[in-house]
Amino acid sequence: MPPSPTSSASPAGPVPAGAPSAGAGAPAGGGKPRRRREGLLPYVLLVPAVLVLAAALGYPLVRQAVMSFQEYGLAQQFGQPPQWVGLDNYVELVTDSYLWTVIVRSVVFCLANAAITMVLGVALAVLMTLTGTGPRLTLQIGLLLAWAMPHLASLTVWQWLFEAQYGVINWVLVRAGFEQFAGHSWLIDQLSFFVVATVIVVWMSVPFVAFAVYAGLTQVPGELHEAAAIDGASAWQRFRAITMPLVRPVLLIVGLLQIIWDLKVFTQIFVLQDAGGVTAETNLIGTYIYRLGLGEGEFGMAAAASWFMLLLTVTLSLYYVRVLVREEEL
Amino acid sequence: MSTLTPSTTATGDRPRGPRSAPPRPKLRRSSPRRRRRWFGALAVAIAVVWAFPVYWMLNSSFLPFNRIRSPEPTFFPVGGTVAAYERVFESNFLSALRVSATVTLITVAAALLFAFLAALALSRFRFRGRRSFLLAVLIIQMIPAEGLFISQFKLLEGWQLLNSVVGLSLLYVAAVVPFTIWMLRGFVNGVPRELEEAALVDGCSRVQAFFRITLPLLAPGLVASGVYAFLQAWNEFTLALVVMTRPDNMTLPLWLKTFTEANRASDWAGIMAGSVVIAIPVMIFFLFVQHRMTSGLVSGAVKG
């Protein structure tokens, strides 16, 4: 904390350490604020976390802003000083139709994946409430196994499942009568590449949604349902009038998280691209930035492109934070 | 924080009414039992589908060459072999394991310590800027690595920390700390301040009260946050890909990707064995703390 220098009498000014900081502190929380002679202590406790965040996130953010206004390519990698080019990087990106292709593709991919994940996750959560203990535990264990898998291991397994010649998925499809899948390479065609990516992303993300929503559903007090049932409400009416309003905050937050996560999806696409996808046809924002910066050495351009990514996700995140803050007292 | 409140504690008078115990209303006995059974079958079927890739990984890892490369898949590894696992350990798996273990250890320790201090400040004190800091933490937590790794790469390059365990750990700690703060703050909030104050009244010093009362009650929260940090650092791929450019500095996920690319044409059993070796320890860990993970993750959303 900056040791507030001159604040002897000014009523609204920064409050010196130790003095009761009622005006500023009280509206923050709902609890009983404790005001002792604590002064600097809370700020000292925050120092390590703040330092790490400043070094590893804050400084790069500034650096990224600066770099996006510079010509920073391969020549600069080898020691030439970067040149200021003003908005050139941005102009070049915005007028480049490929960036827009990538952005549209990312948004579509994100919305499709988030929607499928939410629908499946909520359906499975509801299913858990409808079955007995045995089947519910079985389902939960199945989901947990998928959730617990490290992403890279999952991606590797799915590559093997979708393998053209010996993969079990093609085998099943051929067995089911779809002869055209004999030896079918899933990753070469753009659409089927994204089908594979979607299957993997959904498979990974549904468990979290299902568990979170199920936790929300079980927090709905049974007495409410009981009372409504006695009053003659049908199951559907009870679901709509009691369950939904109580679970909606969870749905909103989980849904927002899905959108944010699916927008920045990188690992799945990157690994699948290296496993046989056509890069230019399958880039999403994340992989596009990577290929541009670390692949081609166009750091200035990549820094500028990163801002599109940041802008998109941070805007969504601000909304998410607003929802979260409304739910929870800080 | 439903995790912290024991459900059946003594609240003076013992529960008398019959309605305190049964969680589910027994009223819908009228609805057909057959439908319930049908739902049960559906749930089990979905469980099988969802778990299949994990089973397939295990199954394939035990198969010899001639059975993995055959037109008819083998569904049970009867008469299997562990030769694939030997091939995994013959590669540079162990060096990747060492890198991953070091990075993870540093990340967990640093993130827990830093986040714990911050959570104490945020939960137990009222100070100027507290609310803004909390909001900032929430927003920072959402910054995607994918939007920042270009300049993080340049940063570490400038500090000569590319390909170093320290550099990668620094990025990991920063990535994990915001959520850890958020999670731990919830747990600290769950410890009633009155307990501490009672200890103070009974003659404990503030430090004693903290170590004897607060810290033990926080153990579950510390474990959950630690496991979260562990899983993040152990599984992370993007930043590792960006920072660890040399083959002898690979973390386990990078190793698995390289190993897969090298053996894709010939040795899927080996690749699956590699996946198993990476996945199983994580999965066991995860399953042990899953309950706490879920309630921790949801605690932002559901007020217990």
Options 1.10.10.10, 1.10.760.10, 3.20.20.100, 1.10.3720.10; CATH for B91-298 is 1.10.3720.10
Q: Over 60: is that where the pLDDT of B25 sits?
A: no
CA distance B7 to A320: 31
Q: Are A69 and A145 contained in the same domain?
A: no
Q: Over 50: is that where the pLDDT of B3 sits?
A: no
CB of B162 closer than 8 Å to CB of B156? yes
Q: Is A78 exposed, middle or buried (0-12, 13-18, 19+ CB in 10 A)?
A: exposed
CA distance A168 to A174: 10
Q: Are A115 and A215 contained in the same domain?
A: yes
Rounded to an integer, the average pLDDT of B130-143 is 85
CB of A127 closer than 8 Å to CB of A138? no
Percent of chain A with pLDDT over 70: 87
Rounded to an integer, the average pLDDT of B197-210 is 84
Kindly report which listed range (A12-26, A62-76, A173-187) carries the lowest average pLDDT score: A12-26
- Tell me if chain B has a CB within 8 Å of the CB of A280: no
Q: Are A75 and A113 contained in the same domain?
A: no
| pLDDT given for residue A26 in this prediction | 37
Q: Are A175 and A307 contained in the same domain?
A: yes
Neighbours of B182 (CB within 10 A): 23
Looking at chain B, how many residues does it have?
A: 304
Q: Is A225 exposed, middle or buried (0-12, 13-18, 19+ CB in 10 A)?
A: buried
Q: What 3-state DSSP class applies to A258?
A: helix
> What contacts A86, CB < 8 A, 6 or more positions away?
A69
Q: Are A230 and A182 contained in the same domain?
A: yes
pLDDT tens by residue, A154-181 = 999 999 999 998 999 999 999 999 988 8
Domain boundary (A86, A113, A147) is at A86
pLDDT confidence bin for B31, thresholds 50/70/90: low
Question: Domain count of chain A?
Answer: 2
pLDDT tens by residue, A117-147 = 999 999 999 999 989 899 999 999 999 999 8
Q: In the structure encoding, which two tokens stand for residue B233, read together?
A: 């650092």
Q: Are A149 and A269 contained in the same domain?
A: yes
A-to-B residue pairs, Cβ atoms closer than 8 angstroms: 352
Nearest neighbour of A225 by CB, restricted to B25, B44, B145: B25
CA distance B182 to B122: 9
Please give the C-alpha separations between residue B16 and each of A165, B13, B22, B183, in angstroms, as whole numbers. 66, 8, 13, 37
CA distance B217 to B158: 43
Please indicate whether residue B210 or residue A283 has the higher confidence score (pLDDT).
Answer: A283
Please give the C-alpha separations between residue B270 and each of B68, B247, B267, in angstroms, as whole numbers. 11, 19, 5
CB of A72 closer than 8 Å to CB of B155? no
Give domain status of residue A93, yes or no: no
Kindly report which listed range (A231-235, A284-288, B109-113) carries the lowest average pLDDT score: A231-235
Q: What is the DSSP string of B72-113?
A: SPPSS-TT--SHHHHHHHHTTHHHHHHHHHHHHHHHHHHHHH
B19 with A223: Cβ contact below 8 A: yes
Give the chain A residue nearest B176 (alpha carbons). A53
For chain B, what are the domain ranges?
35-81, 91-298
CA distance B118 to A53: 12
**B205-224: burial string, b at 16+ Cβ within 10 Å, e else:** eeeebbeebbeebbebbbeb
Q: Are A178 and A289 contained in the same domain?
A: yes
pLDDT confidence bin for A24, thresholds 50/70/90: very low
Regarding an ipTM greater than 0.90, the answer is: no
pLDDT confidence bin for B303, thresholds 50/70/90: very low
Q: What 3-state DSSP class applies to A178?
A: coil
Please indicate whether residue B187 or residue B19 has the higher confidence score (pLDDT).
Answer: B187
pLDDT confidence bin for B67, thresholds 50/70/90: confident
Kindly report which listed range (A30-34, B23-27, B194-198) carries the lowest average pLDDT score: A30-34
Kindly report which listed range (B74-88, B154-168, B250-264) carries the lowest average pLDDT score: B74-88
Rounded to an integer, the average pLDDT of B227-244 is 91
Give domain status of residue A249, yes or no: yes
Chain B residues within an 8 Å CB radius of A48:
113-114, 117-118
Q: Are A155 and A213 contained in the same domain?
A: yes
Q: Are A214 and A256 contained in the same domain?
A: yes
Neighbours of A71 (CB within 10 A): 18
Q: In the structure encoding, which two tokens stand for residue B126, read together?
A: 């009222």
Q: Is A31 exposed, middle or buried (0-12, 13-18, 19+ CB in 10 A)?
A: exposed
Please give the C-alpha separations between residue A116 and each of A109, A262, B51, B79, B268, in angstroms, as whole numbers. 11, 11, 19, 40, 30
Secondary structure letter of residue A295 according to DSSP: I
Chain B residues within an 8 Å CB radius of A21:
126-128
Q: Over 60: is that where the pLDDT of B30 sits?
A: no
CA distance A48 to A324: 26
| pLDDT given for residue B294 in this prediction | 60
Percent of chain A with pLDDT over 90: 46
Q: In the structure encoding, which two tokens stand for residue B41, read together?
A: 């079958």
| pLDDT given for residue A329 in this prediction | 61
| pLDDT given for residue A311 in this prediction | 87
> What contacts B245, CB < 8 A, 6 or more positions away?
B162, B163
- Tell me if chain B has a CB within 8 Å of the CB of A25: yes
| pLDDT given for residue B11 in this prediction | 38
Secondary structure letter of residue A83 according to DSSP: E
pLDDT tens by residue, A290-318 = 999 988 888 889 999 999 888 888 888 88
- Tell me if chain A has a CB within 8 Å of the CB of B117: yes
- The C-alpha of A218 sits at a distance from chain B's nearest C-alpha, in angstroms, of 10
Give the chain A residue nearest B141 (alpha carbons). A317
Q: In the structure encoding, which two tokens stand for residue B227, read together?
A: 């496991």
B46 with A127: Cβ contact below 8 A: yes
- Tell me if chain A has a CB within 8 Å of the CB of B128: yes
| pLDDT given for residue B14 in this prediction | 42
CA distance A306 to A314: 12
SS (H, E, C) B155-212: HHHHCCCCCCHHHHHHHHHHHHHHHHHHHHHHHHHHCCHHHHHHHHHCCCCHHHHHHH
pLDDT confidence bin for B61, thresholds 50/70/90: very high
CA distance A78 to A80: 6
| pLDDT given for residue B197 in this prediction | 83
| pLDDT given for residue A19 in this prediction | 35
* CATH code of the domain containing A228: 1.10.3720.10
Q: Over 60: is that where the pLDDT of A15 sits?
A: no
pLDDT confidence bin for A49, thresholds 50/70/90: very high
CA distance B181 to B115: 5
Task: Indicate the average pLDDT of chain B.
Answer: 83
Task: Indicate the average pLDDT of chain A.
Answer: 84
| pLDDT given for residue B296 in this prediction | 53
pLDDT confidence bin for B86, thresholds 50/70/90: very high
| pLDDT given for residue A272 in this prediction | 95
pLDDT confidence bin for B234, thresholds 50/70/90: very high
| pLDDT given for residue A18 in this prediction | 34
Rounded to an integer, the average pLDDT of B94-122 is 94
Rounded to an integer, the average pLDDT of A255-266 is 89
CA distance B186 to B119: 8
CA distance A316 to A42: 30
pLDDT confidence bin for B15, thresholds 50/70/90: very low
CB of B121 closer than 8 Å to CB of A52? no
Range of the domain at A183: 98-327
B57 with A153: Cβ contact below 8 A: yes
Q: Over 70: is that where the pLDDT of B62 sits?
A: yes
pLDDT tens by residue, B243-298 = 998 888 999 999 999 999 999 888 999 999 999 999 988 888 887 666 666 655 55
CA dihedral of residues A94, A98, A99, A104 (deg, nearest 10): 120
Q: Over 80: is that where the pLDDT of A3 sits?
A: no
- Give the best residue of B31, B50, B231 to mutate against chain A (max A CB count within 10 A): B50
CA distance B190 to A30: 14
CA distance B189 to B195: 12
Q: Are A156 and A298 contained in the same domain?
A: yes
Chain B residues within an 8 Å CB radius of A130:
36, 39
Interface list for B 232-261 with A (CB within 8 A): 234-235, 237-238, 241-242, 252-253, 256-257, 260-261
